[in-house]
Amino acid sequence: MSNTGVNKEVDVLIVGAGIAGATLAANLAKTGKNIVVVERDLSERDVIIGELLQPGGVQKLGEMGFTSFIDQIDAQPVYGYDIIFEGQDYVIPYPNKNGEPSGYGFRNGAFLQNIRKHVLALDNVRVIEGAVTDLIDEKDTIVGASFKRKDAIEEEQVYAKLTVLTDGPLSTFREKLSKPVNKLNGYFLGLLLKNCELPYANHGHLVMGDHPPMVIYPVTSTSWRVLIDFKGEKPPRMGRDFKKFLLEEFENAIPQSARKAFKATVEEGKFKTFPNHRLPANPIKKEGAVILGDALNMRHPLTGGGMTAAFNDVLRLSNNLASITDFSNKKQIGKAIQKFYETRHLGTQTTNILADGLYGVVYNPDLRKAFFEYVSRGDKYAEETCSILAGLNKDKKLLLNHFIGMARYGTQMRITNSEKSKETVTQSLTMVKDAVGIITPLLLSEKPDTGNKLMLEALNRII
């Protein structure tokens, strides 16, 4: 079937063939649905987002039968993290006792083109290169979208029984299907280090210290992505002194073996930035439509959890829709969407809480030291924390126990290792208070359930 022309009424219209939209098209297509995907730009994108897929995301791809999307793109297996704190480091492997997969680093554009290539070859999916200009709302029901093909002047319409909005982090239409309370945390500056080694091949590196945090992971066999956090409302100003600033601020924090490559990359000056948002999910139920991926929910990318969350969404929604043979049955579609909104947090909440929780920790000098000391104890302190980061373990209570346990451990260490004074005790206890202050709003912004209430009561007893 050609990929031009629009069937006037299709089962499903997907807005955006990014990570979530393209994978959803591939997965829904298995049930024989008639699908149209409208994507603004089908060329391979050169971005700094979505380049480390956590093992939990690889597992979800496997459940959909799509691990081949990682093939033939020089993707690099990632076996765990090296946590670097003021020059010391501690390596934590991802869990693999039960045959859990490794993570993968890759160029996002190459990975996405693999997914799109698969979709473009499907008989029951039509992919249109064009920008959606509006969702069509008739009598409070979304019935499709208007779009303009690339280079066209005229608008066209496509009508669908179900419209799926996956227009990503910079979504234009999220307000039609959710009540977003979007917080800009700042920006990641991305650089590519070429032909160098890091302390641990095939590992992510989290670099913390008296400087903004950095993450580094392999994205091809010869290059490593470095992401440096910049807090604030505006992207870093890349004026004349920017290169000097980067070298002064970060060169010594980069592991020795990669400093030469870092310096060369900075001098070359090929930088990219992307805004980092926190967006708790707050969907509005609207007949005929559903929203997912970054359009609905974002967390800080420090822990690389976004694609894992997106694949969780894709799988959960597809499973809910799988048994519906007739998509004109609005009641059944409505029920499937309602169930998706009510249960999706079970797959995403620990990823979200950990991402923004760790982001709070790395900017708090006492807590980031406590975090390093806590995971350096090894055993369950490292393994369980890493299993949550990996997106393999979704136990929210376990996450909370480790988060508070980390702050309490920091407190104990401080009291044990410092001169006994009222000031030491007060400062130490502040750590627990700070940790609770970081995690409480994150817990509250996940879909409220009785579990959250019990946890908040437990937290109140601690402080």
Which residues contact ligand FAD by CB under 6 A?
15-21, 38-41, 48-53, 131-132, 166-169, 172, 188, 274, 276, 293-295, 301, 304-308, 310
| CB of residue 168 to ligand FAD, shortest distance in Å | 3
Residue nearest to ligand FAD (CB): 18
Judged by beta carbon, residue 118 or residue 369, the one nearer ligand FAD is 118
Q: Smallest gap, in angstroms, from Cβ of residue 106 to ligand FAD? A: 10
Q: How far is the CB of 38 from ligand FAD (least distance, A)?
A: 5
The set of residues, in sequence order, having a beta carbon less than 8 Å from that of 7 and lying 6+ positions away, is: 34, 36, 126, 158
- By beta-carbon proximity to ligand FAD, the closer residue of 50 and 101 is 50
Nearest CB to ligand FAD, comparing residues 320 and 351: 351
Pick the closer one to ligand FAD by CB: 39 or 434: 39
Report, in Å, the least distance between residue 352 CB and ligand FAD: 11
Q: Which is nearer to ligand FAD, 58 or 253 (CB)?
A: 58
Nearer to ligand FAD, 165 or 455 (CB): 165
Q: How far is the CB of 398 from ligand FAD (least distance, A)?
A: 21
Q: C-beta of 238: minimal distance to ligand FAD in Å?
A: 16
